[in-house]
Every structure is written in structure tokens, then in C-alpha cells.
Chains A and B, each alone.
Chain A
Amino acid sequence: MTCQPDVNKYYALALDPIHVGTGGMRLGRVDMSIVREPGTNVPKIPGTSLSGAARTYAAMQEEGKFPHCAGQGQADTGRGYQGHCGRPDCPICVTFGFSKGDQGSFQGLAQFSDARLVFFPVHSLAGPVWVTCPDALKDLEIPGAEPEDHQVRVASGVKASGRLNLGWLMLDVASNDFALQDQVPNVPQDILKHAVLVSNKMFGHIVNDNLEVRTSVSIDPATGAAAERALFTYEALPRASVLYFEVVVSDPQFYKIGDKAPLQNNGGKQKVIKTVEKGLTLFESLGVGGMNTRGMGRLRVLNLSAGGAE
């Protein structure tokens, strides 16, 4: 008997701008900056944000599991909150893990990776285009030659010859043979037809120069106008960004909760995958990250019914 975890690959399309904040631990142009990869400075959605939201949304859809199995593990008797049930047949606690202090803990059988940016929308003279780079495509196991820093390769739908601007940057069009249609079947064809490939170095510059930045202000109820000193700014991944993440699902038969194998009579590994996907389904309505009540956060996972891409 050998362990063969399932690696489920998901693509996600931002239906709204997405703001997963750093909690003010970063200086920047805006008051509330978003999480980025340290090495490349490219924004991402941390796996913890995906997992936490998926857990809550999955619990909402399982009879009798919300709110106790959705939130933190420790009980709060003052508030009548029982904490995680920690039962070996609970799909929420088995999938996402539980922590019951002295009564034990379990790490959960679904491991979420960070969601990494694959296609990023930018305005150009040829209309909207989706920028990507060889490093991002390497994650999808798509090889490709890297253009020079001053060059761009474009897909057939991008009507540009000679030069193409991506925001304020003007780059030389090296070729119009950048074709991905057959290699990422889950991403909308319209995006793939308007994809452009830039160098790894330029990708971070272009993304950071074209993030959505919003300014908000509190309204003073006495005057009905903006309140003094209540202005704040925040940044977000723009609508129509495409991200990619993986969920690794371990086989319950290799684990024990108490003396029982988890989900033994409740669907096993398939139940774990189903629970993850139930949670991911509600990303489209309830969203991830912050500012959900102010037009932010909705994310459509594009290949849910397939149980992730191969």
C-alpha cells in the first residue's frame, strides 16, 4: 500500500477586484496593500485565505456543521460556541483539520497552495490584453521561450504589429504566434486569444503598475459629505485576472483520528475532494479576501465539475 495523493489543479477568474490585505505590515503607495510573492513582487492569494474561506463555505452547506466546524477549534462556552467537532466522520474537520486543545488535533487532508497570477489584464492600444510570463506558464507545465525585456509575443487576437503598449510601457512585438488555446482548456478562449507573453522581469513591473487602486472615505452623517481625515486608499487585483492554484488531497486510509480511519464509511478521499469543491463553489457568490460588501472578492473557480484539471 503506497500513498498517492491527488493533485487537483484549479483555475480561477476574478469576477470582482480582489483585495487580500497585508494587515498594514508594508509601506506603499496605498494605505492598505495586498499580499505579494517576496521574490517577484507579484500579488497572490495566500493558500490560507483560500482554505479558510472554503472551510466556512463548505460548512455552510453541510447539515449541522455551521458554525461550529467552520471557525476556530476552541470552544467558547460564554458564546455558546462548541468549536470543531473533531469526529472522524465529519467531512469539514477531516478535510480542513481541527484543533481541540488537550483533546487532540488533526492537520486536515486537503492542502491548499497559494493562488498565483497567470493572466493579468492590462489596457493597450489594441484593447484589453492578458499578460503572462514564462515563469507563470511553467507552473502550468507549458514551456516557452522567454522574450527579451523590450519585446512581447502576442496571440492571434491581438491586433498589433510593430509595437504594443502595456499601460505606459511600449514594447516591440517580436511575433504573433503565441498560442495557448489547446494547452489551458479551462481558461476562457477570449482571454487566451488576447494573451501576450513578456519576460519574467517585466511581468512584475507591468502587474504592479496596473493594479486597481481605490480611494474610499467615510461620510459624515451631519453634513452628508466626506468626513475630515477619513480618506483611505487600497489596492486590489483587477477584475478578469486569472489565477492558478492546487489542492493536494491525501488518502484518509493513511491517517487515524482516535483509533478510526477518517471518513471510512463516509466517502473516503472522494468525500474530501467533494467537500473542497463545495466550498470553492461559493467563492463565486461570497468571495475571498476583504471588502466583500463593497464590490470586491468574487472569484469563479473555472473547472470545478472536473474535480480539478489533470
Chain B
Amino acid sequence: MSTQNLDQLCAKFGWNIADEVHQAIGKNAENHITKSLGVLQEDGVYAFFLYQASRGQREKPGAGKLRDQARELLKEAGIKGFEHAGEPLAAVREYLASDLDQLLLAKRLLEQALIYARYHAKALE
């Protein structure tokens, strides 16, 4: 059985998120990432993707980048429902939400990547 360094995966996507969100919305990047992390932690994975979809004009470009990177992270980690990297809200609704272990792992991975992204974004400002 092959092993996978999940922290490395989170670090890679953490950096990608910070870089892309910063390019898209500049100095609002850290604030948007931190708020997204709060939604993820308190309300769960579905709420996190929904939050990205609901952003207004100012944050929308960054929210789109964040959603895409989060989806790629879950795909690379082999999370159920994200194998084909489709629409993340549908993947959570139809597959992930019914498997508690996979759901908790996905949430933990996203949390770690967003924590790294938050600090990367601080450094970019």
C-alpha cells in the first residue's frame, strides 16, 4: 500500500490557494480565506463550498479560485465523490455527506490547507 504525505498535499494547495486568491482579489485574500475557514469549521464542507458560490462582486473572483483549488485538493486526496472533479456542491450532496469518515477527512484536509493559505496570504501582503 502506498503512503501519502497529506501535510505535503495541504502545503501545496495552501500555497496555490494563497497565490491564486491573492492574484484575484489582492489584499482581501487573507480576509476571505479566514472567513472561509470559519464557515468550514463551524458549518461543514457543504457550507464552505456554498459560501464560495454566494460571494458578492468584490470577492467572487477569489472565491472561484478557492473553490477550484479546494476541489482539486480533494480530488488528489482521493476523497469520495471528487474523483472526477465535477461540481463540488453536488459531490458533497450526493456522495461525501453520506460517508462520515470521508467527510471528516475532507474537512480536516481543507482546514489544514486553508490554515496554510491564510498564513501564506499574510506573507504576500
* Interface residues, chain A, with chain B CB atoms under 8 Å away: 27-29, 149-150, 167-169, 205, 208-210, 213, 233
- Distance A155 CA – B101 CA, assembled complex (angstroms): 26
The reply to whether A29 and B41 contact each other, CB–CB distance below 8 Å, is: yes
The reply to whether B34 and A29 contact each other, CB–CB distance below 8 Å, is: yes
The reply to whether A213 and B38 contact each other, CB–CB distance below 8 Å, is: yes
The reply to whether B34 and A233 contact each other, CB–CB distance below 8 Å, is: yes
Query: Smallest CB-CB separation from A208: which chain B residue?
Result: B41
Query: Smallest CB-CB separation from B112: which chain A residue?
Result: A27
- Distance A29 CA – B118 CA, assembled complex (angstroms): 8
- Distance A169 CA – B111 CA, assembled complex (angstroms): 16
- Distance A72 CA – B48 CA, assembled complex (angstroms): 47
Within 8 A of A (CB), among B1-59: 34, 37-38, 41-44, 47
- Distance A28 CA – B44 CA, assembled complex (angstroms): 16
- Distance A209 CA – B104 CA, assembled complex (angstroms): 11
Q: Could you tell me the distance in whole angstroms from the C-beta of B11 to the nearest C-beta in chain A?
A: 11
0/1 string, B107-120, CB within 8 A of A gives 1? 00001001110110
Interface flag for B123 (CB, 8 Å): no
User: For chain B, which range describes its interface: under 10, 10 to 19, 20 to 34, or 35 or more residues?
Assistant: 10 to 19
Q: Name, among B34, B44, B47, B100, the residue most crowded by chain A CB atoms within 10 Å (CB to CB).
A: B100
- Distance A11 CA – B87 CA, assembled complex (angstroms): 48
Q: Could you tell me the distance in whole angstroms from the C-beta of B102 to the nearest C-beta in chain A?
A: 12
- Distance A168 CA – B51 CA, assembled complex (angstroms): 15
The reply to whether A168 and B115 contact each other, CB–CB distance below 8 Å, is: no
Instruction: List, in ascending order, chain B residues with CB within 8 A of A208's CB.
Output: 41
The reply to whether A205 and B41 contact each other, CB–CB distance below 8 Å, is: no
- Distance A27 CA – B114 CA, assembled complex (angstroms): 11
Q: Name, among B37, B41, B114, B119, the residue most crowded by chain A CB atoms within 10 Å (CB to CB).
A: B41
**Contact flag A210-B42 (CB < 8 Å), given A29-B34, A29-B115, A168-B47:** yes
The reply to whether B43 and A168 contact each other, CB–CB distance below 8 Å, is: yes
Query: Smallest CB-CB separation from B119: which chain A residue?
Result: A27
- Distance A55 CA – B119 CA, assembled complex (angstroms): 38
- Distance A205 CA – B101 CA, assembled complex (angstroms): 12
The reply to whether B44 and A168 contact each other, CB–CB distance below 8 Å, is: yes
Query: Smallest CB-CB separation from B37: which chain A residue?
Result: A29
- Distance A233 CA – B114 CA, assembled complex (angstroms): 16
Query: Smallest CB-CB separation from B36: which chain A residue?
Result: A29
Q: Could you tell me the distance in whole angstroms from the C-beta of B63 to the nearest C-beta in chain A?
A: 18
The reply to whether A209 and B42 contact each other, CB–CB distance below 8 Å, is: yes
